[in-house]
Amino acid sequence: MVNKKEMVNKKEIVMRVVVFSTVYTLIAAVVVSYLKREWLLIPLLVVIGLWGVFSYHMNVKVMGRPVLSMEIEGLEGRALTDVNEEGKVKVRGEIWNARSDKKILKGKKVRILVRDGIVLEVESAED
């Protein structure tokens, strides 16, 4: 059975691809007619069509993946600044705002306890 939400997302992707491909086609037609190189129109339409198919498949592929930043509790990272009430940490290559009950010095390993929006509650991961 087909998931209704998945179908809506695929329809939305198709609409985006069609709209952008139409815009690209109109721009290509204007440029080609301005340059008086009508023979370029067919190769440009082929390229635009291939780009549309490629972008559709990439969008469908990406939309099926879970967001990596959502399951962040328990991971370890590094403190970029001293962390107490406020600070910055780096986890999986992303920089996050952080807070901690105890002071954590810059450069020390941290463990994420809870994610609250864009703020991570962290503790020292070093014993």
Q: What is the pLDDT of residues 31-90, one digit of tens each?
A: 888 888 888 888 988 988 898 888 888 877 776 665 555 678 899 999 999 998 899 999
Write out pLDDT tens, residues 109-122. 999 999 888 899 99
Class of 69-124 in CATH: mainly beta
With beta carbons less than 8 A apart as the criterion, state whether 117 and 97 touch. no
Query: Which pLDDT score, from 0 to 100, does residue 122 have?
Result: 94
Q: Give the pair of three-digit tokens for residue 106.
A: 């810059």
Q: Is the pTM of this model over 0.75?
A: no
Backbone angles phi, psi at 113, to 5 degrees: -95, -50
Place of tokens 């941290």: 110
Q: What band does 11 get if pLDDT is binned at 50, 70 and 90?
A: confident
Q: DSSP E strands: which ranges in 1-127?
A: 76-79, 87-91, 94-99, 109-116, 119-124
Domain boundaries, the chain: 4-65, 69-124
If we measure between CA atoms, which residue out of 68, 70, 69, 77 comes closest to residue 122? 77
- Mean per-residue pLDDT, 8-36: 83
d(CA 127, CA 4): 49
Beta strands 87-91 and 109-116, pairing class? unpaired
Q: Which residue has the higher pLDDT, 78 or 6?
A: 78
